[in-house]
Structure 1
């Protein structure tokens, strides 16, 4: 019996990427099931690796501002607007 490429690949069901996703576990937009897989973000056709939160429909991402933190120890973020695409790696 010959093995075909489709038989040898591990098929993993990945949940669809949400319109709005946050890395902060306290946020209502955090989805732990999505973070079980590697996610990539393209912002204005360039891949970003420092995205804390994104919204596809509104076209923005939130990224940390250096090493600055607020009074509770959470990173300060800035919202950048542009073309946003999310994908599984």
Structure 2
């Protein structure tokens, strides 16, 4: 797939369709997140400019049945695979 058909990766992106930061067009492609130099496969949400990612905190769920997340601060890089 060519680079021209891929949308630009946003500064702030969430996998939750209810979030205002969810961009469905981006998820049609395989994206990766590198956090502090290591690729992560469990990222729920990220913000490049603020330097954080949200990842699930084990198997814990919130009262609405969604995974409880924790915010980790560091260098964030998003890319297409």
What's the TM-score bracket when you normalise by the shorter of the two chains?
over 0.9
- Residues 64-75 of structure 1 correspond to what in structure 2 (within 5 A)? 64-75=56-67
User: Could you tell me which residue of structure 2 aligns to residue 55 of structure 1?
Assistant: 47
1:11 corresponding residue in structure 2: 2
> Please, which runs of 5 or more residues in structure 2 have no aligned partner?
none
Are 1:86 and 2:78 matched, yes or no?
Answer: yes
Larger gyration radius, structure 1 or structure 2: 1
- Deviation at residue 53 of structure 1 after TM alignment: 0.1
* Runs of 4+ residues over 4 Å off in structure 1: none
Scaled by the length of structure 2, the TM-score of the pair is 0.96
Question: Unpaired segments of 5 or more residues in structure 1?
Answer: 1-9
Count, aligned residues: 80
1:4 match = none
Computed over aligned residues only, the root mean square deviation of the Cα atoms, in angstroms, reads 0.9
